[in-house]
Chain A
Amino acid sequence: MLATQPGVESTTSVPLTGSARTRTLIQNYAIFLVFIVLLLLGALLSDRFLSTQNLLNIGQSVAFTGFAALGMLFVTSSGGFVDLSIPASMAASGIIALAVMPTLGVLGGIIAGVVAGIVIGLVNGILIGVFRTNPVLTTLGTNVAAIGISLIFTQGDIVYSENEFFSQFAQDRTLGIPHTLWILAAVAVVAHVILSNTVLGRWIYPTGGNYAAARAAGVPVRRVMVSVFVICAAFSAIGGILLASINESARSGAGAGQEFNAIAAVAIGGNSIFGGAGTVPRTIIGVLIVGVLNNLMILLGIPAESQNIVKGALIVGAVFLDLRLRK
């Protein structure tokens, strides 16, 4: 298990022939096929579906889940299981950024917001990595506590952005693409590089695959755990600050539900929730599938209330399919 490479090419090293190879290909790329089928379906249903504007709308609508999911990928891959404090990282970063922006300026505000997220990640990481507390309950606790602490600064009110540049930044476009999506792409590239080309990345998978064996083999498992929770919180914080920019305000409920959206996207993409495997492309595909499906349902006129039913079915279906194909 220690040598397991992340994700797609990991199934076997023995050369395969004929049908066996086809099977492996299907196993590895099934989720990408699903995505292409959804795109074709959309193109058939509506000629506006593949328009640049609609595709950008889809991207914008799932961008914040994207930040959360990329962070969550680090936590799940390393066996940290889940981070339920993503809403706190998103809300606290936006609130702190806007609260200090009048005095510290835009850059100062952004840095303060990201630092707020990193502090939440550090608390999670130290509790879970060093003291080995249960991740579900720990991050549940830090979630409610951290939102409360960030609201002390603002006495519970919504904080509004008073900075013209900041209020416009997330929705302004460069080369026709909103800045939110550029930054999401940049974060995705950083995440991919960390996971596939750094020492930390090489430690994350064995830690998630077999904690005891990784520790015995000399992987600094505690440091890995602290790192993944800090990365998750930092990515969420970047998303939270952009969300504050789009809304021109920040409030405590800004990131509500994003922790579950993130888990759903990671699972739908076919990444393991229990550690040892998981890639950035799969996570992005998971996020996009949710976005495309929501968009399709709107085009089909399915009421917004019922879309959650499909989303729930999709999560179970994707994980079930993944289990079956890997057998």
Chain B
Amino acid sequence: MSPRTLRFIAENRIYIFLAVAFVFALIFIPDIRSVPALKNIMARASIEGIMAVGMTVVILSGQLDLSVGSVLALSGVVALGLQGDIGPIPAALVGIAAGGLVGVVNGALVVKAGINSFIVTLAAMIAVRGVATTLSDAAPIRGADASFGASVDRALFGPLVEQLGTFLTPRILIFLALLFVAHLFLLRVRQGRNVYAVGGNVEAARLSGIPTSRYTFAAFVFCGLCAGLAGTILGLSLNTGSPVVGADSGLRVIAAVVIGGTALTGGSGSMMKTLMGVLLLALVTTAMNQAAVQVWVQGIVLGTILIIVVLIDAIYSAWRTRLVIAGQLGSTRAVT
């Protein structure tokens, strides 16, 4: 194979993974084709996916946000806890805003105080979990308006076309719309392109006149808002705001983004890759649940997938550097 073919395969590995996983699922778990199973995959993918959209922007700009799992809990607690006092829609908006507020604090500490984002968001992960637990008195909060909560999973247009209609729920549509808008923004809008510049080489971006601090700050706020949105939707769909939800979803979302093919070093990746990474994780998890695979075996499968992907990336990156130095391959980075 020519270097170019190899590069093409390596950079689009997620599509191969997804295809293989789907074929495996079809062979071993015939139920996976059923509408409830597919809807299950999409519902799972929506929550993690909304968080992953924000995380992709943070990772593209060269940072990391560990706090999204705790924000997921905080927003759910706030959005359901306030329902009785201010009504379900304002409460939902406050829940989303709570996530944005965490993003503001994260962004300010990274940009203004100059503390590394891993440390800042690790501290936020711990502290925000504490806020969520304090606000809820360490117990799940039940929403006052169960029918409003259930509406996030109600088919919007009824069973229009018998099968497709069940997928047109607010939860899934919000996820796809958010992802699509973010995708267009990153590819077609100047500010979106600048995100890649900031993440690729922050010094070069600054010297070419991009206000890099503002971009970094905005990335954290956006990521916080996305996690807030995900937490609010999750809380509404269960009609419960739980302070313990999402303990490992921060790391799971980061894994989904990177499995999709967005580089943790920043500046390279895309929303579509993230979509594929999220779908892969949701497909594998749902398929294994469907087949009643024990939890620890699921851990082995997911951990192994992650290690294989990371290993492929490392070997590919070393190989590409060698070929670029030898002049056999252009040095352009793929950003789409």
Contacts and interface: CB of A to CB of B under 8 A. Distances in A.
Interface of A: 82, 84, 127, 131-134, 136-138, 140-149, 151-152, 156, 252, 260, 263-264, 267, 273-274, 303, 305-313, 315-316, 319-320, 323
B48 to A, nearest CB: 15
24 contacts: A133-B310, A133-B311, A137-B309, A137-B310, A140-B254, A141-B302, A144-B299, A144-B302, A145-B302, A146-B303, A148-B297, A151-B296, A273-B116, A305-B137, A305-B138, A306-B134, A307-B130, A309-B130, A312-B128, A313-B123, A316-B113, A316-B123, A319-B116, A323-B113
A145 B255 CA distance: 14
A138 B259 CA distance: 12
Nearest to B127: A312
Q: Is the interface of B mostly helix, strand, loop or mixed?
A: helix
Interface stretch (B33-41, B164-172, B216-224, B312-320): B312-320
Given A138-B310, A311-B126, 19 more contacts: A133-B313, A137-B254, A137-B258, A137-B264, A140-B251, A140-B254, A140-B306, A145-B300, A148-B296, A148-B298, A149-B300, A156-B296, A264-B123, A273-B116, A308-B130, A310-B130, A313-B123, A315-B122, A316-B113
Contacts of B122: 260, 263-264, 315
B310 A141 contact: yes
B126 A315 contact: yes
A140 B296 contact: no
B227 interface: no
Nearest to B303: A145
B295 A156 contact: yes
Interface in B233-262: 251, 254-255, 258
Given A267-B119, A273-B116, A308-B126, A141 B264 contact: no
A303 B137 CA distance: 10
Interface of B: 64, 109, 113-116, 118-120, 122-131, 133-134, 137-138, 251, 254-255, 258, 264, 294-300, 302-307, 309-311, 313-315, 317-318
Contacts of A149: 300
The A interface, classified by DSSP as helix, strand, loop or mixed, is helix
A145 B217 CA distance: 35
A308 B133 contact: yes
Nearest to A123: B307
Given A148-B303, A149-B300, A319-B115, A132 B314 contact: yes
B102 to A, nearest CB: 11
A134 B264 contact: yes
A39 to B, nearest CB: 23
B315 A131 contact: yes
A316 B109 contact: yes
A143 B252 CA distance: 12
